[in-house]
Structure 1
């Protein structure tokens, strides 16, 4: 099993609750196939750098997954079939000592919310 980062962007029309439901589906899929979720973060509703499928904003969700390559390919196929997800990116991580603390994106969101 290898570590992967996954970031997906859900359409602007879906609610934050629906975006978190999509994250739960990813979580359930990985755990049902014998993988583990090392980290999961909802980064929030953000502007996109450019318009994607008529969307100017999107809900960003981040994962660190511990799963086999076969499971990742199956998940990629499932994500492509989901119409509420407009973009996704998988990256294989070589180092196994990632931080358990929140990512920079989540910290920036929390700082912005406090102001």
Structure 2
């Protein structure tokens, strides 16, 4: 398993409940696919450098997790079919997952 990070940009028009439900859905995908969620870091509403889907603001959330190979593909597939997510990026943090006690 590798330590991964996915940064997700949510629509600013989502209510708090809708955003929490979307975050819970992504967290469930990580658990279901055999990963271990380490951190969900909500950065909050930020101004964007350029318009994305005619919006100049977005809500950023960073997921940090240990993941087997197939998890990233499934997580990105789920993210792509969500209408409330504008953009995302997944980055490998290290080749070896850290053991969390």
Common fold: TM-score over 0.5: yes
Q: Structure 1: which 5+ residue stretches go unaligned?
A: 99-115
Q: Is the 8 A contact 1:8 1:87 kept in 2?
A: yes
Could you say which residue in structure 1 is the equivalent of 2:79? Answer: 79
Taking structure 2 as the reference length, the TM-score comes to 0.88
Q: What whole-Å deviation, never above 9, does each CA across 1:71-91 have from its counterpart, x for those lacking one? A: 110110110010100000000
Taking structure 1 as the reference length, the TM-score comes to 0.78
1: CA distance, partners of 2:43 / 2:96: 22
Q: Which has the higher contact order (CA 8 A, sep 6+)?
A: 2
Which structure is higher in strand share? 2
CA offset at residue 20 of structure 1? 2.1
Aligned residues: 98
**Cα root mean square deviation, aligned:** 1.7
Q: Structure 2: which 5+ residue stretches go unaligned?
A: none
Which structure is higher in helix share? 1
